[in-house]
Amino acid sequence: MGTRMYFAEYGEPELVTAGEESVDVPGDGQVQVGIRAIAVNPMDWKIVAGYLQAFFPLQLPAVPGCEAAGTVTAVGNGVTDFKVGDEVIWNGFAGGYRSAANFPAGQLTLKPAGLDFEQAACVAIAGGAAYSALVQLGIGVGDTVLIHGAAGGVGSAAVQIARHLGARVIGTASEQNHAYLRGLGAEPVAYGEGLVERVRSLGTITAVVDTFGGEGTTAATVQLLGGHGTAVTTVPGKEANAAGIAPVKMLAGRVAEAARLAADGKLRFSIQERIPLTDAARALGISRAGHVRGKIVLVP
């Protein structure tokens, strides 16, 4: 038997409760994974709230969770890329808040040996989005990148990868995260009123990664780029559309690439808190409050 965290109606994080389930023999093309760590993402509470129903319809009851890492315990017919004992990273849309699961083989990536399960669980979404954003922007030596929301999962990964690519990085965060950002190699600035002036006092921005979105942030991006340079966002919406800011296109191969950067020591997630899987509702509530530093990890 395994544990799953599920919700039977859309709404608050508290609706996500624990249940037992039998873990069947994997079907054709499926791989059974004993899950060791699950990363919490804003997408998880957005799914529970029902905000993504139009894009990804789910049949209820459903299980949130879009990335995890673990060990292969069985493989179904037709699976040739994985075998029992392999350590893997899973990235999907939902279904990851479990102690064990059967996943389609196509959603798995082999975990580099040197990467622990906790870090491996974090690389697909935050690492993959950050990597994709910086490739989309063509970041390299000579760039000065502004990252909105630099202390969060995507932001902290984008800071590290942009530094690795040779760029100068300015990152927005609340005061309490400024020392953390400096430690990652970014120059921190406070968001909110006066942001444009604070950034201008540090230099000229050539590119922007927006992981926060909304009216004020988008307006600051437009003013700072002033028609030069490019911006991408992980939070597309009417403001970004109106300003011509492109949504991040998630690149094929991003999970393996982010995992390789992590295994090589170029990318490391600060784990704000490790929370038992059965306490997932609390983890979702913390994520929804919007001030996570690095990542929250659920432990089955």
Ligand X SMILES: NC(=O)c1ccc[n+]([C@@H]2O[C@H](COP(=O)([O-])OP(=O)(O)OC[C@H]3O[C@@H](n4cnc5c(N)ncnc54)[C@H](OP(=O)(O)O)[C@@H]3O)[C@@H](O)[C@H]2O)c1
- Contacts with ligand X, residue ranges (CB under 6 A): 41-43, 125-126, 129, 148-149, 151-155, 172-174, 177, 191, 211-212, 217, 234-235, 248, 250, 287, 290-293
Write down how long the chain is. 300
Helix axes 280-289, 42-49, angle to 10 degrees: 100
| CB-count exposure of residue 64 (10 Å: 0-12, 13-18, 19+) | buried
Contact 132, 249 (CB under 8 A): yes
Please state the closest distance from residue 76 (CB atom) to ligand X, in A.
Answer: 28
Of 129 and 208, the one with the shorter C-beta distance to ligand X is: 129
Please state the closest distance from residue 128 (CB atom) to ligand X, in A.
Answer: 7
Please state the closest distance from residue 55 (CB atom) to ligand X, in A.
Answer: 11
Contact 2, 21 (CB under 8 A): yes
Cα separation of 118 and 276, whole Å? 13
Q: How many helices (H) and strands (E) does the chain have?
A: 10, 15
Of 35 and 232, the one with the shorter C-beta distance to ligand X is: 232
Residue showing the smallest CB distance to ligand X in the complex? 152
E strand or H helix that includes residue 155: helix 153-164
Please state the closest distance from residue 46 (CB atom) to ligand X, in A.
Answer: 6
- Residue that is written with structure tokens 């307006």 in the block: 219
Cα separation of 223 and 194, whole Å? 12
Please state the closest distance from residue 61 (CB atom) to ligand X, in A.
Answer: 22
Of 88 and 123, the one with the shorter C-beta distance to ligand X is: 123
Please state the closest distance from residue 231 (CB atom) to ligand X, in A.
Answer: 14
Of 86 and 273, the one with the shorter C-beta distance to ligand X is: 273
Please state the closest distance from residue 156 (CB atom) to ligand X, in A.
Answer: 8
Three-state secondary structure string covering 78-136? CCCCCCCCCEEEEECCCCCCECEEEEEHHHEEECCCCCCHHHHHHHHHHHHHHHHHHHH
17: number of Cβ within 10 Å: 14
Of 8 and 56, the one with the shorter C-beta distance to ligand X is: 56
Please state the closest distance from residue 202 (CB atom) to ligand X, in A.
Answer: 16
Of 11 and 192, the one with the shorter C-beta distance to ligand X is: 192
Cα separation of 171 and 193, whole Å? 15
Of 20 and 175, the one with the shorter C-beta distance to ligand X is: 175
Of 121 and 235, the one with the shorter C-beta distance to ligand X is: 235
CA nearest to 224, candidates 190, 201, 248, 247: 201
